Amino acid sequence: MPTETPEKRFALAHYKLRGKYFREALSEELALDMVLIPAGQFWMGSQPEEPGAMDREQPQHEVKVPQFFIGRYPITQAQWRVVEGYPQIKQKLDPAPSRFKGDNRPVERVSWNDAVEFCQRLSRHTGRAYRLPSEAEWEYACRAGTTTPFHFGPTLSDDLANYDATAVFGSGFEGEQRGETTEVGQFPPNRFGLHDMHGNVWEWCEDDYHESYEGAPTDGTAWVEEDRSETDRVLRGGSWVDVPWLCRSAVRFNDSRDLIFFTVGFRVVCDPSRTLLGS
């Protein structure tokens, strides 16, 4: 049962120079930070001349995105363990699925189905509408107003993200490959205050996978088919094992909704339209 009614008001706070967020209590000891992403519009996808650009990231198209809340970090193993203890909705969850153990490391080895079950349990417990981000919401949140391959700029370095930095992108420099996940929040955030949008773990989105953006929604909603039984789901952001071009803001990959792998995690979105915003 929800701990409070769905009409409860958000208690908004401020990151220094980084906008508004609210903190969802998962237990007496643990919370989930949800950052308010302002409404806006952006060009989704990559330009053909962007280094590493793929056909699946095109055509670049303008999308208008309503405001939403998204997790400041990928879901951690500690957060996963608490929500796994909430009452089951449709399926069981493994309380400790991750290969690389650590309370503040991102949970990995969770399928799209597992991530959806997590969101459903969290929604019922809190009375808020939690879900996976749409692909458009994810890229809009990642870019945070930028148009470069990474929200950091034209290249990436191993002091900015966890990826295979032995490979060099553009004018960057060779670095190290850590060979495992790192604790969330270890690297600098983007302009919206979000961490780990490049590398660490791939993140599930709500969308069914399509080979290109031809016919994609332009309102920020997830692109889903009427029959989803055989469709792949979208993955975003790259991981600790990936070379930098696979960690770009525009990169999109796909896999089956029951994929379980140690490079794959997720973060959650909360719909302000289905709750009451405080001030």
Q: Walk me through the domains of the chain, giving residue ranges and CATH numbers.
A: 17-274 (3.90.1580.10)
Rounded to a whole number of angstroms, the CA Rg of the chain reads: 18
Task: Kindly report, residue by residue over 136-190, the tens digit of the pLDDT.
Answer: 999 999 999 999 999 999 999 999 999 999 999 998 899 999 999 999 999 999 9
| Residue 87, preceding peptide bond in cis (omega within 30° of 0) | no
* Residue 62 confidence (pLDDT): 98
d(CA 265, CA 109) in angstroms, rounded, equals: 7
| The amino acid at 203 | E
Residues above pLDDT 70, as percent of the chain: 91
Task: Kindly report, residue by residue over 189-208, the tens digit of the pLDDT.
Answer: 999 999 999 999 999 999 99
